[in-house]
Amino acid sequence: MLKALIFDVDGTLADTERDGHRVAFNLAFQEAGLNWNWDVALYGELLSVTGGKERMCLYANQYDQSFAGQPKVDERIKELHASKTRHYVRLLGEGKIPLRPGVERILKGAENAGLTLAIATTTTPQNVSALIESTLGVDALNRFASIGAGDIVPAKKPAPDIYLHVLEELGLQPDECLAFEDSENGVLSSLAANLATIVTTNAYTKDHDFTGATLVLDQYGELDQPANVLLGNMDKTYLDIQGIQKLYGEL
């Protein structure tokens, strides 16, 4: 029986990368007097690794050897990341990033059907709180029975660790849950945790390989704004809890 839905955050609940995380990274670089500037295309390449600290290390190794080679590089990265998180949380507080259309419908539908909601993400915990509170209200974090985020597990996605952590907290088996993702690294992570996975793509992830996913859509869709089905089947023009239950029943 389907008991829980486990959601990734960045790209899945909200389109946070281009106008949220990327902007916050650049503000942190400016503040620190670094001449790093991540444009939209470069940021798409850097998304090949999950985690902001890991992403800055990747960039430094590729584009700024003198930064990467300094003795206390890990400390510098940590400071930059703390500043980036401050900027990101502020941007969310200003209401800059909405949920993706259809997310509220699916969350409410799941709760009405008696399902448990959970989160499994590589992003920093403060980022999750700021997004949920700014979009769903100050008490909305309570709607999620488990929130697995950031450095709580040693290996970030594509490793399955964060999903395994959330499953353990929920006390559920993978075949009692469905995962929601938007990226190849995310799907590798959820599938490695044996979770059937529904994908909604975005501009950065539309060409990723989603082999093994149960359903891939370009968006959750609305009555008058049909989702395009990229892999799998869906009866309606949009995804709702009935559609999710039906997909689960056919697994």
Nearer to ligand XBP, 50 or 200 (CB): 50
Query: Site for ligand XBP (CB under 6 A): how many residues?
Result: 19
Ranges within 165-184 binding Mg ion (CB under 5 A): 182-183
Q: How far apart are CA 115 and CA 153, in angstroms?
A: 25
Of 14, 11, 6, 17, the residue nearest 132 (C-alpha): 14
- In the set 8, 161, 182, 240, the catalytic residue is 8
Stretch (H or E) spanning 217: strand 215-217
* Choice from 5, 10, 87, 239 touching ligand XBP (CB under 6 A): 10
Q: Name 206's Cβ contacts closer than 8 Å, sequence gap at least 6.
A: 218
Q: Any contact of residue 214 with ligand XBP (CB under 6 A)?
A: no
- Do the Cβ atoms of 26 and 38 come closer than 8 Å? yes
Does the protein bind ligand XBP through residue 83 (CB under 6 A)? no
**Given candidates 2, 4, 5, 10, which one binds Mg ion under the rule CB under 5 A?**
10
Side by side, which strands form the sheet with 4-7? 144-148, 116-120, 4-7, 177-181, 196-200, 215-217, 229-231
What's the token pair of residue 200? 């909604």
Nearest distance in Å: CB 48, ligand XBP: 10
- Which residue, 161 or 182, is less far from Mg ion as judged by CB? 182
Helix, strand, coil share (%) of the chain residues, nearest 5: 45, 15, 40
161 binds ligand XBP (CB under 6 A): no
Phi, psi of 10 (to 5 degrees): -70, 120
With binding defined as CB under 5 A, does residue 161 bind Mg ion? no
**Number of residues near Mg ion (by CB under 5 A):** 6
- Provide the angle, in degrees to the nearest 10, between the axes of the packed helices 73-93 and 52-63: 130
Among 4, 5, 6, 11, binds Mg ion (CB under 5 A): 11
183 lies in the site for ligand XBP, by CB under 6 A: yes
Q: Quick one: three-class SS letters along 87-141?
A: HHHHHHHCCCCCECCCHHHHHHHHHHCCCEEEEECCCCHHHHHHHHHHHHCCCHH
Query: Considering only residues 34, 42, 51, 104, which one is a binding residue for ligand XBP as defined by CB under 6 A?
Result: 51
Active site residue 235: no
Stretch that binds ligand XBP, among 32-40, 46-54, 63-71, 220-228 (CB under 6 A): 46-54
15 is annotated as an active-site residue = no
Residues that bind Mg ion (CB under 5 A): 8, 10-11, 182-183, 186
Residues that bind ligand XBP (CB under 6 A): 8-11, 17, 21, 50-52, 84, 121-124, 127, 157, 183, 185-186
Active site residues: 8, 10
